[in-house]
Structure 1
Amino acid sequence: MEEMMIKKNEATLLSSIDRVVELAIDSKLSNYFYEEADEALQYLSQRLDITPTQALVFSLFIEKCTDRRITMSDFANMIGCRTTRLIELMSEADALHKMGLIGRYKRNKECYYNVPMEVIEAVKENRKFTPKSLSELSSNEFYDCLDEIFEADHDDTYTLSDRLRELVTANPQLPIAQVVKRYNIGWFRGDWSGIMLCVYLNRFVNHDDDMVGTHDWEDYFSSKHIVRSINEDLKDTSFTLCKEGLVEPYKNDGMADTNYFHLTDKAKQELCPELIPKVKEKGKDKRLISHTSFAPKSLYYSDNVQQQIEQLTSLLQPDMFCKVTDRLAQNGMRRGFACLFYGSPGTGKTETVNQIARQTGRDVMMVDVSKIKSCWVGESEKNIKEAFDHYRRLVENSEQAPILLFNEADAILGKRNEAAERSVDKMENAIQNIILQEMEQLEGIMIATTNLTSNLDSAFERRFIYKIEFERPTLSARKAIWQSMISELNDEDAASLASQFDLSGGQIENIARKRTVEFILSGTAPDLHQLTAYCQAEQQLSKGPTHRRIGF
């Protein structure tokens, strides 16, 4: 019957939505609009099982469906009326959200909406959207749903609680439902332990980090009163999650830090037993680069730098490292090794770290500085703290301490702005203060690479125990690099290129790669004349940054 009606009226969900939007634009939602749009609104209401007013709001959202950050003010501009005129429609948007027809999330107290792709697909196919069932989920399906809920409802405490409780209770076969029942974990006002347990589990399973700090709860609870109450509960040994041994304070240097809590091994075993073998399996951490992935590579240094690299590599050998750090601790000194590799681009700083890791059997945790920084207030500081916290756990759980690598760290090692007024300057200072504090507490190996050191903060200089300047290669080193990169070069041609062009090892490698690509494309290897042209182009791009020596 429904199909016959659609065919007769030649109406579809998409055509009706288009009609509503067409009439709504600049209409100010006048009586005339409602009269003209009534047929389309009634059709949408019947097909989607929603009210005509909800059909109007849904149509507006579909019109903006390519935008992932829709606000109610967007509709005010579209319709041509004040935002206050749309406030009455916000409750309809909330209703659509509960039906799963639109998504909603809050960031920094601002509410944003979007339209899920599966809803868009349903409209395109002219069918009513039916939310996927939450029951009888596998563990992986449950983890996916859990993450989706947190992404959608960061700041809406009561909706968040309802959705999590619904998800857990719909899957009594899963370990988390059994844990909630076994320990009588609550979901209601005054007892937020259910949400808290889901937060810990989600961060552990989906984000490789189950540690939650005192301020992190603000991401999940809209009320500061609730956040304060939670932090007080966690320090109370009678609180359910603590009493049952499901969460515990994070230990820093053997001391409990009650500003950070995480799941206990017992909780991980009970909540996600299928993941425990994977968690404990060595080398499976997503942030670690295995030392076995680094291929042997010949690097050429000056005699002075060669000596320093060999000494550092020797110190970082497992047996020697343990002896040295133990002796440092006995003398009341910091156990951590912080090293700075500085010098012109392309001089082999990063590759040297890779080769040291390969030779000492240490994996590498590389920190991407560009990803650490965030436009959201407080996020950058949180990210850098989390990076060090994660590294600390890796050290505790690894046979050999991995290397914490801050590659191209110029942006975070510069001089602090003592008179910072702009928020970005304050953020830079806060990040640097956190790094300085973490370097004081470092239990492992940190290496930072940087191209320029003229602006290095003196506080960082003091904390790097080894500072190695990577000089541009000498004439003889350049000749050796040329012949290692292009084995076909004879001594005379290699010496000619080395003497004509003061290139770094990285620049010579670029030219060698370009030569290989040209050979693949044309079948003919570039001759000395073409290599000379490549060198001229490469040298022209180089600006040759200046730097001051800061010593070994």
Structure 2
Amino acid sequence: MKRLNVTQQATEEKTTLAEPKRLNLLTAIEQIVELSEGSNLSEEFYVKARRYVRYVAKKLSLTPVQAVLFSLFVDKSDDSCIRISDFATHLRCRTVRIIRYMSDIDVLEKRKLVICCRQRREKTYRISMPVIEALKENRCYEPQLRGGLTCEELFDELDDLFEQRDDSELTYDALVGEINTLFDNNDSLEFVRRVRSYGLAEWDWVLLVYFCHLFVSNDDDNIGPHDFDDLYESKIIFRLQERELVQGHSDLMRRKLVEYVNSDGYADRNAFKLTDQAKEELLGELNISKQQANPDKDLLKHVTLPAKQLFYNEREARQIDQLAALLSPDRFDDIRSRLAASGMRNGFACLFYGAPGTGKTETVYQLAKRTGRDIMQVNFAALKSCWVGESEKNVKALFDRYRTLVTKCDTVPILLFNEADAIIGKRQEGAERAVDKMENSIQNIILQEMESLDGILIATTNLTQNMDKAFERRFLYKIEFERPSLEAKQAIWQSMLPDLTAEEATELASAYDFTGGQIENIARKQAVDKILRGVERVDIETLRQYCDSERIASPEKRRRIGF
């Protein structure tokens, strides 16, 4: 046995002498991988690979076991999902044996020699390109301490960190540690100083930095809970943060750093963004102007409105023509400046009132198209919130947004309060119920805003009998839309149904006291019938049937529908 050991040692020495004396990391790693295949990491393997293991261990400041494991990782560096079971297959040992070395793999991860991905309760690993580049240069990879960065470079680093977190390659604790190190090395930046000056809890300042990252990197000003549901390790923390934001109790909101996204003047409690204050305080070094991203994105564009011929009674036509002339861009700007110079209010509030279907809303659209003005249309149902005090905030935000549009748009847009019956009604005296108090509060805010209006507001309503006198005083122009005259109805019939003869149009106009909206309904039914029946023209008798069915709700022929 002794002779055998001597012979074996001599053979090993001979082999060693035959090998090149100068090693580099990649050569040594290759030898370790070759010798370890099927070895079960036995003592015999460590004897054979001793020179190479010692070289890698010394060069990278690792233990022999860590040097071997790292070599196996490098051999699979083309695989972004390395599993420890792959090592068990290579070594021909049980996976449980590799599990014994998990603490050594953790050291490699901490040193950033390998990157761990934790997804679906499974761990996989990969080798980053900077590590491979260091091995090619025969040097130990050392993560750079990124100091002296500009704010742009800092956000590039944050982008990498959050991407690793999104890919589950950084734990939440590791992310916090990396950001803190990055901030420590760049504490002269105003962004870093500001974030730390707020004294926020860890969960909050990490979320604030994440919001800043999304805004700077992705121009994201509409962030939902789904965007940060994987930021925290614990779902409990995520749900707590989500609840505080939704309910408006978050410290980020109290400090006016984060706010709800406003769309059409009402707050979406499931969408958040940085406030303008936060952008000014935190992102000044980036020279990013306040993001009113596409301030006119929700406007109804005048160029998209189809041209439509409308027919009015003589008095209505005269008033609408006068209003259209006033709203023409040149005249409007001149009149505004003269009124302002005289110390008068320079906003224009108009009320269109009358029966349903008389063309109030369509007149607003055609005025907008004729004068080149976009429309900001208000949805009052969406403005109202079940949250105490939120409806009032929504109304204020609505007018704030309109003011922004007035200053940013080349042509002042129209603020349209369509079907504003509930808003301009008489206020409740001695209101005690919370709902009545809210309604009164909303009306008071609108009255104040109309008083200082710098723009164009048009409200449409079917009811004026219950109008609050305070609103009536604030509408400079009031146009009543009456039911069309016989001549107007004839013109509407022939405009909607060009196949009609003059006599047929006169007959229908005389027999049926319809509004333009009702006549349009008849025209649409006729168009559908022509398609279904495949005929070129619908006869007058069929049109009469349509008319009879259209007026079922009129007093003389009203009947119940349904049960």
Structure 1 residue 476: deviation in Å? 0.7
State the alpha-carbon separation in 2 of the partners of residues 305 and 168 from structure 1.
Answer: 70
Matches within 5 A, 1:97-176: 169=179
User: Would the aligned equivalents of 2:428 and 2:436 in 1 still touch at CA under 8 Å?
Assistant: yes
Name the SS for the 2:551 alignment partner: helix
**Letter aligned with residue 221 of structure 2:** V
State the alpha-carbon separation in 2 of the partners of residues 535 and 500 from structure 1.
Answer: 9
State the alpha-carbon separation in 2 of the partners of residues 167 and 271 from structure 1.
Answer: 24
State the alpha-carbon separation in 1 of the partners of residues 435 and 462 from structure 2.
Answer: 22
Matched with 2:329 is 318
Structure 1 residue 188: deviation in Å? 3.8
Residue 534 of structure 1 pairs with residue 546 of structure 2: yes
Structure 1 residue 528: deviation in Å? 1.0
State the alpha-carbon separation in 2 of the partners of residues 515 and 329 from structure 1.
Answer: 52
**Letter aligned with residue 542 of structure 2:** Q
Residue 279 of structure 1 pairs with residue 293 of structure 2: yes
Structure 1 residue 506: deviation in Å? 0.6
State the alpha-carbon separation in 2 of the partners of residues 351 and 270 from structure 1.
Answer: 48
Matched with 1:427 is 438
- Cα offsets for 1:269-326 (capped at 9, x unmatched): 86796996x936xxx6232111101121110111111111011111111111111111
Structure 1 residue 217: deviation in Å? 9.1
State the alpha-carbon separation in 2 of the partners of residues 451 and 421 from structure 1.
Answer: 28
Q: Which of 203, 206, 212 is equivalent to 2:222?
A: 206
Matched with 1:481 is 492
Name the SS for the 1:205 alignment partner: coil
Instruction: Report the structure number with the largest CA radius of gyration.
Output: 2
Residue 360 of structure 1 pairs with residue 371 of structure 2: yes
User: Would the aligned equivalents of 1:336 and 1:442 in 2 still touch at CA under 8 Å?
Assistant: yes
User: Would the aligned equivalents of 1:362 and 1:401 in 2 still touch at CA under 8 Å?
Assistant: yes
Matched with 1:47 is none
**Letter aligned with residue 513 of structure 1:** R
User: Would the aligned equivalents of 1:401 and 1:445 in 2 still touch at CA under 8 Å?
Assistant: yes
Residue 515 of structure 1 pairs with residue 526 of structure 2: yes
State the alpha-carbon separation in 1 of the partners of residues 250 and 517 from structure 2.
Answer: 51
Residue 472 of structure 1 pairs with residue 483 of structure 2: yes
**Letter aligned with residue 424 of structure 2:** L
Structure 1 residue 542: deviation in Å? 4.7
User: Would the aligned equivalents of 2:280 and 2:290 in 1 still touch at CA under 8 Å?
Assistant: no
Name the SS for the 1:355 alignment partner: helix
CA separation of 1:519/1:183 partners in 2, compared to 1, >3 Å: closer, same or farther? same
Structure 1 residue 541: deviation in Å? 2.8
Matched with 2:269 is none
Name the SS for the 1:362 alignment partner: coil
State the alpha-carbon separation in 1 of the partners of residues 194 and 278 from structure 2.
Answer: 15
CA separation of 1:408/1:184 partners in 2, compared to 1, >3 Å: closer, same or farther? closer
Q: Which of 453, 474, 484 is equivalent to 2:464?
A: 453
State the alpha-carbon separation in 1 of the partners of residues 342 and 358 from structure 2.
Answer: 36
CA separation of 1:168/1:180 partners in 2, compared to 1, >3 Å: closer, same or farther? farther
Residue 337 of structure 1 pairs with residue 348 of structure 2: yes
State the alpha-carbon separation in 1 of the partners of residues 440 and 504 from structure 2.
Answer: 50
CA separation of 1:309/1:262 partners in 2, compared to 1, >3 Å: closer, same or farther? farther
State the alpha-carbon separation in 2 of the partners of residues 168 and 507 from structure 1.
Answer: 67
CA separation of 1:378/1:532 partners in 2, compared to 1, >3 Å: closer, same or farther? same
User: Would the aligned equivalents of 1:410 and 1:452 in 2 still touch at CA under 8 Å?
Assistant: yes
State the alpha-carbon separation in 2 of the partners of residues 486 and 166 from structure 1.
Answer: 70
Structure 2: give runs of 5+ residues left out of the alignment: 1-118, 124-155, 167-171, 225-243, 259-274, 557-563
Structure 1 residue 440: deviation in Å? 1.0
State the alpha-carbon separation in 1 of the partners of residues 542 and 555 from structure 2.
Answer: 22
State the alpha-carbon separation in 2 of the partners of residues 297 and 261 from structure 1.
Answer: 41
User: Would the aligned equivalents of 2:191 and 2:285 in 1 still touch at CA under 8 Å?
Assistant: no
CA separation of 1:316/1:166 partners in 2, compared to 1, >3 Å: closer, same or farther? farther
CA separation of 1:275/1:437 partners in 2, compared to 1, >3 Å: closer, same or farther? closer
User: Would the aligned equivalents of 2:376 and 2:413 in 1 still touch at CA under 8 Å?
Assistant: yes
Aligned residues: percent identity?
A: 49
CA separation of 1:411/1:184 partners in 2, compared to 1, >3 Å: closer, same or farther? closer
Matched with 2:249 is 221
State the alpha-carbon separation in 1 of the partners of residues 157 and 417 from structure 2.
Answer: 44
Matched with 2:412 is 401
State the alpha-carbon separation in 2 of the partners of residues 188 and 538 from structure 1.
Answer: 67
**Letter aligned with residue 524 of structure 2:** R
State the alpha-carbon separation in 2 of the partners of residues 495 and 489 from structure 1.
Answer: 10
CA separation of 1:402/1:227 partners in 2, compared to 1, >3 Å: closer, same or farther? closer
Residue 349 of structure 1 pairs with residue 360 of structure 2: yes
CA separation of 1:513/1:220 partners in 2, compared to 1, >3 Å: closer, same or farther? same
State the alpha-carbon separation in 2 of the partners of residues 167 and 491 from structure 1.
Answer: 83
Residue 438 of structure 1 pairs with residue 449 of structure 2: yes
User: Would the aligned equivalents of 1:186 and 1:193 in 2 still touch at CA under 8 Å?
Assistant: no
**Letter aligned with residue 337 of structure 2:** D
**Letter aligned with residue 249 of structure 2:** F
Matched with 2:426 is 415
User: Would the aligned equivalents of 2:276 and 2:290 in 1 still touch at CA under 8 Å?
Assistant: no
User: Would the aligned equivalents of 2:158 and 2:179 in 1 still touch at CA under 8 Å?
Assistant: no
User: Would the aligned equivalents of 2:492 and 2:519 in 1 still touch at CA under 8 Å?
Assistant: yes
CA separation of 1:275/1:423 partners in 2, compared to 1, >3 Å: closer, same or farther? closer
- Cα offsets for 1:309-368 (capped at 9, x unmatched): 011111111111111111211222111111110000111111111111111111110001
State the alpha-carbon separation in 2 of the partners of residues 457 and 432 from structure 1.
Answer: 10
**Letter aligned with residue 403 of structure 1:** I
Name the SS for the 1:206 alignment partner: coil
User: Would the aligned equivalents of 1:218 and 1:227 in 2 still touch at CA under 8 Å?
Assistant: no
Name the SS for the 1:288 alignment partner: coil
- TM score, norm. by length of structure 2: 0.55
Structure 1 residue 445: deviation in Å? 0.5
User: Would the aligned equivalents of 2:194 and 2:281 in 1 still touch at CA under 8 Å?
Assistant: no
- Cα offsets for 1:423-461 (capped at 9, x unmatched): 111111111011001111111111011111111100000
**Letter aligned with residue 511 of structure 2:** Q
State the alpha-carbon separation in 1 of the partners of residues 159 and 518 from structure 2.
Answer: 52
Name the SS for the 2:192 alignment partner: helix
CA separation of 1:172/1:520 partners in 2, compared to 1, >3 Å: closer, same or farther? farther
Structure 1 residue 221: deviation in Å? 3.1
State the alpha-carbon separation in 2 of the partners of residues 383 and 531 from structure 1.
Answer: 47
User: Would the aligned equivalents of 1:179 and 1:271 in 2 still touch at CA under 8 Å?
Assistant: no
CA separation of 1:330/1:264 partners in 2, compared to 1, >3 Å: closer, same or farther? farther
Residue 494 of structure 1 pairs with residue 508 of structure 2: no
Matches within 5 A, 1:223-242: 230=255
User: Would the aligned equivalents of 1:408 and 1:449 in 2 still touch at CA under 8 Å?
Assistant: yes
CA separation of 1:199/1:376 partners in 2, compared to 1, >3 Å: closer, same or farther? farther
CA separation of 1:168/1:467 partners in 2, compared to 1, >3 Å: closer, same or farther? farther
State the alpha-carbon separation in 2 of the partners of residues 529 and 333 from structure 1.
Answer: 58
State the alpha-carbon separation in 2 of the partners of residues 470 and 491 from structure 1.
Answer: 25
| Number of equivalences | 352
- TM score, norm. by length of structure 1: 0.56
Superposed CA RMSD: 4.2
CA separation of 1:305/1:186 partners in 2, compared to 1, >3 Å: closer, same or farther? same
